[in-house]
């Protein structure tokens, strides 16, 4: 067989093999495992904490007293959640929380160590959080972002702690220390709100750190819903293209 024929046969065989081979592309496996969950009781706060997963995800966290669920299932993006107010409201006893990565699902759920809250410590929490007082780390973080420290100013004439309304019927939020929310998210009664650079509650579409969120006319962020203009947002409130 001539060199030319040998080369032609080789080329045809090579092409045939390439045509018959099936290449399977495997997506890179993500690691959403939470290795541990525990409590931090420093500074008269009861903070649920956990080791963040290797890959980026939000988390779903639920508080328990004994075998009873306390409050709602919360979606958070940082590695901690302040349960001080909920525990102050629910009395002494044994608490724990469960946590799982939103992207990994319930199969990766982790249960924290138990926390015994006795009457002396409970009284400290009640004193700090009575009448809705106290401030938690949860109020200065936001969906899809890490906790931030807002710029704040104080004007004694602006009103009392909590919700206040301007003369133009716009809303803002004042903290216990007299500062008001400015350029930040707040978690109030299990709902997320955003206050702009002027301290006013935002409504409608909001672009925050390259992600889009929708806040209703009442100011609360929509989750797992369709917006009035026909777009969908996921469990973290983020617009799904």
For the stretch 162-182, pLDDT in tens is 888 776 678 888 877 778 888
pLDDT given at position 190: 79
What's the pLDDT at 51? 92
117, 125, 119: which is closest to 43 by C-alpha?
125
Domains in the chain and their CATH numbers? 36-128 (2.60.40.10), 162-240 (2.10.270.10)
Q: From the centroid of its chain, how far is CA 226?
A: 20
Closest CA to 196 of 220, 172, 228: 172
pTM summary value: 0.49
Calpha distance 182→177 (Å, rounded): 14
- Res 100: pLDDT: 95
pLDDT of residue 32: 93
Provide the pLDDT for residue 184. Answer: 86
> For the chain, which residues score pLDDT lower than 50?
21-26, 131-133, 135, 137-159
CA–CA distance, 173 with 175 (Å, rounded to integer): 7
């Amino acid at each position: 067989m001539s060199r030319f024929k040998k080369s032609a046969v080789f080329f045809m065989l090579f092409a045939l093999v390439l045509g018959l081979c099936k290449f399977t592309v495997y997506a890179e496996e993500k690691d959403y495992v939470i290795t541990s969950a525990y409590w931090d009781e420093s500074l008269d706060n009861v903070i649920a904490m956990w080791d963040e997963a290797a890959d980026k995800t939000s988390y779903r966290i639920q508080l328990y007293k004994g075998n009873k669920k306390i409050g709602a299932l919360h979606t958070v993006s940082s590695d901690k959640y302040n349960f001080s107010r909920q525990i102050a409201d629910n009395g002494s006893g044994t608490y724990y929380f469960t946590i799982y990565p939103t992207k990994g699902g319930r199969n990766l759920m982790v249960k924290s160590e138990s926390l015994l809250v006795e009457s002396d410590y409970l009284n400290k929490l009640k004193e700090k959080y009575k009448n809705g007082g106290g401030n938690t780390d949860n109020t200065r973080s936001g969906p899809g972002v890490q906790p931030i420290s807002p710029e704040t100013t104080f004007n004694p004439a602006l009103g009392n702690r909590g919700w206040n309304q301007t003369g133009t019927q716009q809303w803002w939020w004042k903290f216990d220390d007299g500062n008001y929310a400015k350029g930040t998210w707040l978690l109030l009664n299990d709902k997320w709100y955003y206050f702009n650079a002027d301290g006013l509650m935002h409504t409608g579409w909001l672009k925050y750190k390259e992600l889009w969120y929708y806040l209703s006319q009442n100011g609360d962020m929509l989750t797992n819903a369709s917006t009035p203009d026909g777009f969908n947002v996921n469990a973290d409130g983020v617009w799904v293209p």
